[in-house]
C-alpha cells in the first residue's frame, strides 16, 4: 500500500506496516495476524477481553492510562463480521495514541488487526484501509 513500509519482525507471524506518508500520518502503525476460522466469539466476550487487555496494557507501563472509547460489532455469529474497539492510550508524559483494535471473521479464517495513530481519525481511517484487504484474505462468506 502506498505510504506504508512493510516489516516482518523476526520469529513472528505478525505482518506489520509503518506509515511514512502524510496521508496515513507518519509514525502510524498497522499490524495484523491471521488465525484459523472462528465463529464462536461473541461481542460480549470481545468486550470483556478488551477490558482485560486495557488492564494488561496499563500494567506494562507505570503511569499509563488506557481508556476504551467505544466497542462495536455484530451480535450474530455469521461471517463476514468485524468487532472493533477504539481506545485512547495516554503515556506518563501526556502523549496520546489512538488505537483501533479488531477481530475480523471470514469463511476461511479470522484475523486480529490493530491500527495506532496520533489522532482518532487517523487510526480509524488506517484500520478501514487495511480491513478490506485482510477480509479479502479471509475469503468470501459461505452464505
DSSP string, 8-70: --TT---EEEEE-STTT-TT-EEEEEEES------HHHHHHHHHHHHHHHHHHSTT-EEEEEE
Cα separation, 62 vs 5, whole angstroms? 31
Nearest to 105 by CA among 27, 45, 30: 45
45 pLDDT band, cuts 50/70/90, is: very high
CATH class of 4-138: alpha beta
Cα separation, 116 vs 17, whole angstroms? 11
Q: What average pLDDT does this structure show over 17-26?
A: 90
Residue 143, pLDDT score:
47
Cα separation, 119 vs 116, whole angstroms? 8
75 pLDDT band, cuts 50/70/90, is: confident
Strands 81-90 and 15-19: unpaired
141 pLDDT band, cuts 50/70/90, is: low
- Sorted by where each begins, the domain ranges of the chain are 4-138
- Res. 142: pLDDT tops 80: no
Cα separation, 91 vs 140, whole angstroms? 40
Amino acid at each position: 500500500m502506498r505510504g506504508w513500509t512493510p516489516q516482518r519482525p523476526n520469529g513472528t507471524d505478525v505482518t506489520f506496516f509503518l506509515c511514512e506518508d502524510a496521508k496515513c500520518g507518519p509514525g502510524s502503525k498497522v499490524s495484523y495476524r491471521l488465525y484459523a476460522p472462528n465463529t464462536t466469539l461473541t461481542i460480549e466476550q470481545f468486550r470483556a477481553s478488551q477490558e482485560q487487555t486495557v488492564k494488561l496494557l496499563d500494567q506494562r507501563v507505570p503511569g499509563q492510562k488506557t481508556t476504551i472509547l467505544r466497542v462495536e460489532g455484530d451480535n450474530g455469529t455469521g461471517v463476514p463480521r468485524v468487532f472493533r474497539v477504539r481506545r485512547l492510550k495516554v503515556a506518563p508524559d501526556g502523549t496520546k495514541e489512538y488505537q483501533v483494535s479488531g477481530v475480523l471473521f471470514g469463511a476461511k479464517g479470522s484475523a486480529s488487526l490493530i491500527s495506532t495513530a496520533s489522532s482518532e481519525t487517523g487510526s480509524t481511517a488506517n484500520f478501514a484501509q487495511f480491513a478490506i484487504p485482510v477480509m479479502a484474505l479471509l475469503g468470501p462468506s459461505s452464505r
